[in-house]
Amino acid sequence: MVHTSLDVVDEKISAMGKALVDQRELYLGLLYPTEDYKVYGYVTNSKVKFVMVVDSSNTALRDNEIRSMFRKLHNSYTDVMCNPFYNPGDRIQSRAFENMVTSMMIQVC
C-alpha cells in the first residue's frame, strides 16, 4: 500500500510541472483514501518523500495537524541530515528523531 501511495506521489510530483519550491506544494494532501487508512504525502526540496499512513478511524486529524506534523518531521530530518556520519539512505537511528516521531504519534493517538 505504501508503494502504491508512492506511485501516487510520483504522479503528483510529475504533475507539478515546474517544481515550485513552496512549502504548500510540498504537502501533497490526501493521497489515496481507502477503506482502512489514509495516506498523506510530503516531498522535501531534495525530493525526499515522507509518507504518512493514518488510520481512518482517527477522524480527529485535520489537515493543519498533518501539515504541522510533516513540518516537524522535515525539521527533524534535516537535523539528522546535518550529521556527517549519517549516510543518506541508511536507516535513521537518531534518537532525537525517533523521540520526535514517537511523541508526534502519541500526541495524535
Contact positions vs other proteins (CB under 8 A) = 78-86, 93-96
Shortest gap between Cβ of 83 and other proteins (angstroms)?
5
CB of 95 to other proteins, least distance (A): 7
Question: Phi and psi dihedrals of 98, rounded to 5?
Answer: -60, -40
Tell me the HSE value of 60 on the side-chain side, using a 13 A CA sphere: 4
Q: Where does 16-62 have alpha helices with state H?
A: 23-26
- Cα 16 to Cα 86: distance, rounded to the nearest angstrom: 30
Nearer to other proteins, 4 or 75 (CB): 75
Nearer to other proteins, 78 or 103 (CB): 78
Residue with smaller CB distance to other proteins, 17 or 84: 84
